[in-house]
């Protein structure tokens, strides 16, 4: 099954590259997730179930249009806790319950300008052959939480091997937020994720619980991707 296509973003606000991406997903009762959403958004369900993702990765080549990336500021680890939503018009996308990043400037800008729940953290992403290790610990002055994961990367999926749930959890091209008390959204244009089989070898995580959810009570569904180039559109009210 082929993944849905991203909407075009002809005039991007920013360019990103997301690399070494691991998707860890757990099912949750929809009512448990719905209470964490703002008015105007409702849980998007797969077979009647809500899903919550823990997604660590490396952000690279962050830049504004027509400008080169700054060597230090444009490359850093990030981890988000997210769920999947529909707006009042039936459009689907991502609602971030939290985002941890290793660059204070990115955290402050995203919180102030875009209303995104970013936290400053000490983080690392290290790959050794077929294993990727992610570590994150929030800095003092924020709600204490940490995450540590070790993933073993396997072979790539063929498109025909991927089903509706795989795409439901990964093929998401709209980000929602609240700006000055009003709902807003931005599109993210990127190619279909090149998804790879992966196995979770170790996980110690407080981020999901810190976002206001019960800790997961079962192993996650795991996907890995080497990454994609991304064009982030401008925010608009919804």
Can you spell out the DSSP letters for the chain? -PPPPPPP-SS-SEEEEEEEEEEEEEEE-HHHHHTTSPTTEEE--BTTBEEEEEEEEEEEEEE-TTSPPPTTTT-EEEEEEEEEEEETTS-EEEEEEEEEES-HHHHHHHHHHH---EEEEEEEEEEETTEEEEEEEEPTTS---EEEEEEEEEEEPPGGG--HHHHHHH---EEEEEETTEEEEEEEE-PPP--EEEEEEEEEE-HHHHTT-PPP-SPPEEEEEEEEEEEE---EE-
Residues 137-152: tens digit of each pLDDT: 999 988 889 999 999 9
Query: Does some domain include residue 89?
Result: yes
Query: Does some domain include residue 231?
Result: yes
84-88, 103-107, 197-201: lowest mean pLDDT where?
103-107
- Average confidence (pLDDT) over 169-183: 95
Query: Does some domain include residue 100?
Result: yes
**Higher pLDDT, residue 235 or 67:** 235
Query: Does some domain include residue 191?
Result: yes
pLDDT for residue 23: 98
- Average confidence (pLDDT) over 111-115: 87
Q: What CATH number does the domain containing 108 carry?
A: 2.40.400.10
pLDDT for residue 80: 98
Q: Domain containing 165: what range?
A: 14-212+221-237
pLDDT for residue 133: 98
Query: Does some domain include residue 112?
Result: yes
For the chain, the domain total comes to 1
pTM score, whole prediction: 0.96
Residues 65-76: tens digit of each pLDDT: 877 777 767 899
pLDDT for residue 128: 96
Query: Does some domain include residue 97?
Result: yes
5-14, 69-78, 129-138, 203-212: lowest mean pLDDT where?
69-78
Query: Does some domain include residue 19?
Result: yes
Q: Is the pLDDT of residue 30 over 90?
A: yes
Query: Does some domain include residue 1?
Result: no
Average pLDDT, the chain: 94
């Amino acid at each position: 099954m082929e993944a849905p296509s991203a909407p075009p973003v002809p005039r991007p606000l920013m360019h990103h590259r997301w690399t070494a991406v691991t998707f860890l997903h757990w099912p949750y009762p929809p009512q448990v997730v719905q209470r964490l959403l703002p008015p105007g958004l409702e849980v998007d369900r797969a077979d009647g179930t809500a899903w919550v993702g823990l997604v660590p990765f490396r952000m690279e080549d962050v830049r504004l249009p027509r400008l080169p990336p700054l060597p230090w500021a444009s490359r850093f680890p990030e981890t988000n806790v997210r769920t999947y939503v529909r707006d009042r018009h039936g459009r689907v996308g991502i609602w971030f319950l939290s985002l941890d990043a290793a660059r204070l400037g990115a955290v402050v800008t995203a919180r102030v300008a875009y209303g995104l729940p970013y936290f400053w953290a000490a983080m690392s992403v290290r790959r050794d052959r077929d294993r990727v290790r992610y570590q994150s610990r929030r800095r003092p002055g924020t709600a204490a939480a940490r995450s540590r994961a070790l993933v073993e990367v396997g072979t790539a999926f063929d498109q025909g091997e991927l089903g509706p749930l795989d795409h439901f959890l990964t093929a998401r091209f709209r980000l929602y937020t609240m700006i000055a008390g009003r709902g807003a959204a931005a599109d993210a244009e990127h190619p279909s994720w090149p998804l790879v089989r992966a196995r979770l070898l170790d996980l110690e995580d407080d981020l999901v619980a810190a976002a206001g959810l019960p800790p997961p009570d079962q192993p996650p569904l795991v996907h890995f991707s080497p990454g994609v180039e991304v064009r982030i559109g401008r925010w608009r009210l919804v």
